[in-house]
A and B are shown apart, each in its own frame.
Chain A
Amino acid sequence: MSPHVSASSRTRTLIAHVEDKPGVLARIASLFRRRGYNIQSLTVGRTAEPGVSRMTLMIDADDDTARRIEANLYKLVNVLDVVDLADHAAVNRELALIKVKADVDTRPRVLQIADVFHARVVDMDRETLTIESTGTHDQIDGLVDVLGAFEVLDLVRSGVIAMTRGRESSRPQPNTHVPSPTSEEQQSWPESSTTATPISA
Chain B
Amino acid sequence: MTANPAAPLPGNPRTAPGALLTGAEIIWEALAAEGVDVVFGYPGGAIMPAYDAMLKYPGIRHVLVRHEQGAAHMADGYARASGRVGVAIATSGPGATNLVTGIATAMMDSVPVVFITGQVSSTLLGTDGFQETDVTGVTLPITKHNYLVTDVADIASTIREAFFLASSGRPGPVLVDICKDAQQATAPWHPPHGTPRLPGYRPEPHAPDEMLERAARMIDQAERPVILAGYGIIKAGAGELLRAFVEKTGVPVASTLLGLGGFAASHPMSLGMMGMHGEAWVNNAIQEADLLIALGMRFDDRVTGRLATYAPRARKIHVEVDRSEINKLVKVDIALIDDVARVLSAITPRVQAKTREPWLARIAGMKGDSAVRDIQGLPDEGRLYAAHVLHDLWRITEGKALVVTDVGQHQMWEAQYYKHDYARKLITSGGLGTMGFALPAAIGARFAQPGDDVWVVAGDGGFQMTACELSTAAQEGIKVNIAIINNGYLGMVRQWQQFFYGGRYSSTPMRSPDFVKLAEAHGLTGLRVTQRSEVEATVRLAQATPGTVVIDFRVEQEDSVYPMVPSGADLAEMIRRPPPPSPLVETAEDP
B residues near A183, Cβ cutoff 8 Å? 208, 210-211
Q: B324 contacts A72, CB within 8 Å?
A: yes
Q: B201 contacts A77, CB within 8 Å?
A: yes
25 CB contacts below 8 A, A to B, read A19-B199, A19-B200, A23-B140, A64-B327, A67-B326, A68-B326, A68-B327, A71-B322, A71-B324, A74-B323, A77-B144, A77-B165, A79-B200, A80-B199, A81-B200, A179-B202, A185-B323, A185-B337, A186-B207, A186-B208, A186-B334, A188-B332, A188-B334, A189-B331, A189-B335
Scan B201-219; emit 1 where CB is below 8 A from any A CB, else 0.
Answer: 1100101101100000000
Chain A interface size, under 10 / 10 to 19 / 20 to 34 / 35 or more: 20 to 34
Distance A85 CA – B561 CA, assembled complex (angstroms):
51
Distance A85 CA – B202 CA, assembled complex (angstroms):
22
Q: Would you call B464 an interface residue if the criterion is a C-beta within 8 Å of the partner chain's C-beta atoms?
A: no
Write the residues of chain B forming the contact surface with A, with a CB cutoff of 8 angstroms: 136-137, 140-141, 144-145, 148, 165, 198-202, 205, 207-208, 210-211, 322-324, 326-328, 331-337
Residue of A74, A81, A183, A186 ringed by the most chain B CB atoms within 10 A: A186
Q: Would you call A22 an interface residue if the criterion is a C-beta within 8 Å of the partner chain's C-beta atoms?
A: yes
List 9 extra interface pairs beyond A68-B324, A189-B326, A190-B333, CB under 8 A. Answer: A23-B148, A68-B327, A68-B328, A71-B323, A74-B202, A74-B323, A174-B199, A179-B202, A181-B207
Q: Would you call A40 an interface residue if the criterion is a C-beta within 8 Å of the partner chain's C-beta atoms?
A: no
Q: Would you call A26 an interface residue if the criterion is a C-beta within 8 Å of the partner chain's C-beta atoms?
A: yes
Q: B200 contacts A185, CB within 8 Å?
A: no
Q: B148 contacts A186, CB within 8 Å?
A: no
Q: Which residue of B lies closest to A26 (CB)?
A: B140
- CB < 8 Å neighbour of A180 from B205, B331, B336: B205
B residues near A80, Cβ cutoff 8 Å? 199-200
B residues near A27, Cβ cutoff 8 Å? 140
The 4 closest A-B pairs by CB, nearest first: A71-B324, A181-B337, A71-B323, A186-B211
Distance A174 CA – B200 CA, assembled complex (angstroms):
10
Q: B202 contacts A180, CB within 8 Å?
A: yes
Write the residues of chain A forming the contact surface with B, with a CB cutoff of 8 angstroms: 18-19, 22-23, 26-27, 30, 34, 64, 67-68, 71-72, 74-81, 174, 179-181, 183, 185-190
Q: A189 contacts B198, CB within 8 Å?
A: no
Distance A48 CA – B210 CA, assembled complex (angstroms):
39
A2 to chain B, nearest CB (A): 15
Q: B145 contacts A71, CB within 8 Å?
A: no
A residues near B141, Cβ cutoff 8 Å? 30, 34
Given contacts A26-B137, A189-B331, contact A77 B198 (CB under 8 A): yes
Q: B334 contacts A76, CB within 8 Å?
A: no
Q: B200 contacts A181, CB within 8 Å?
A: no
A residues near B208, Cβ cutoff 8 Å? 183, 186
Distance A75 CA – B208 CA, assembled complex (angstroms):
20
Q: A76 contacts B200, CB within 8 Å?
A: yes
Distance A188 CA – B217 CA, assembled complex (angstroms):
14
B117 to chain A, nearest CB (A): 16
Distance A185 CA – B145 CA, assembled complex (angstroms):
25
A residues near B165, Cβ cutoff 8 Å? 77
Distance A27 CA – B136 CA, assembled complex (angstroms):
10
Total contacts A to B, CB within 8 angstroms? 83
B332 to chain A, nearest CB (A): 7
A192 to chain B, nearest CB (A): 11
A residues near B334, Cβ cutoff 8 Å? 186-188
Q: B148 contacts A22, CB within 8 Å?
A: yes
Q: Which residue of B lies closest to A64 (CB)?
A: B327
Q: B322 contacts A75, CB within 8 Å?
A: yes
Given contacts A68-B324, A77-B200, contact A187 B211 (CB under 8 A): yes
B residues near A23, Cβ cutoff 8 Å? 136, 140, 148
B residues near A77, Cβ cutoff 8 Å? 144-145, 165, 198, 200-201
A residues near B201, Cβ cutoff 8 Å? 77
Given contacts A72-B324, A179-B202, contact A189 B332 (CB under 8 A): yes
Q: B323 contacts A181, CB within 8 Å?
A: yes
Distance A72 CA – B202 CA, assembled complex (angstroms):
12
B residues near A67, Cβ cutoff 8 Å? 326-327
Distance A77 CA – B255 CA, assembled complex (angstroms):
31
A26 to chain B, nearest CB (A): 7
B67 to chain A, nearest CB (A): 27
A22 to chain B, nearest CB (A): 7
Q: Which residue of A lies closest to B199 (CB)?
A: A80
Distance A180 CA – B201 CA, assembled complex (angstroms):
10
Distance A115 CA – B227 CA, assembled complex (angstroms):
66
Distance A185 CA – B327 CA, assembled complex (angstroms):
11
Distance A143 CA – B332 CA, assembled complex (angstroms):
44
B residues near A34, Cβ cutoff 8 Å? 141
B194 to chain A, nearest CB (A): 17
Given contacts A74-B323, A75-B324, A77-B201, contact A185 B335 (CB under 8 A): yes
Distance A34 CA – B324 CA, assembled complex (angstroms):
14
Given contacts A19-B200, A30-B141, A68-B324, contact A181 B205 (CB under 8 A): yes
Distance A23 CA – B322 CA, assembled complex (angstroms):
23
B residues near A179, Cβ cutoff 8 Å? 202
B residues near A185, Cβ cutoff 8 Å? 323, 326, 335, 337
Q: Which residue of B lies closest to A18 (CB)?
A: B200
A residues near B136, Cβ cutoff 8 Å? 23
B residues near A174, Cβ cutoff 8 Å? 199
Q: A186 contacts B336, CB within 8 Å?
A: yes
B residues near A30, Cβ cutoff 8 Å? 140-141
Q: B336 contacts A190, CB within 8 Å?
A: no
Q: Which residue of A lies closest to B333 (CB)?
A: A188
Residue of A22, A68, A75, A78 ringed by the most chain B CB atoms within 10 A: A75
Q: B326 contacts A71, CB within 8 Å?
A: yes
B342 to chain A, nearest CB (A): 14
Distance A77 CA – B165 CA, assembled complex (angstroms):
9
Given contacts A26-B137, A181-B205, A189-B332, contact A78 B210 (CB under 8 A): no
B residues near A186, Cβ cutoff 8 Å? 207-208, 211, 334-337
Residue of B140, B199, B331, B333 ringed by the most chain A CB atoms within 10 A: B199
A residues near B137, Cβ cutoff 8 Å? 26
Q: Which residue of A lies closest to B206 (CB)?
A: A181
Q: B331 contacts A190, CB within 8 Å?
A: yes
Distance A27 CA – B145 CA, assembled complex (angstroms):
10
Q: Which residue of B lies closest to A65 (CB)?
A: B327
Distance A186 CA – B336 CA, assembled complex (angstroms):
6
Distance A186 CA – B335 CA, assembled complex (angstroms):
5
A residues near B333, Cβ cutoff 8 Å? 188-190
Distance A77 CA – B198 CA, assembled complex (angstroms):
7
B residues near A79, Cβ cutoff 8 Å? 200
Distance A180 CA – B334 CA, assembled complex (angstroms):
16
B219 to chain A, nearest CB (A): 15
A71 to chain B, nearest CB (A): 4
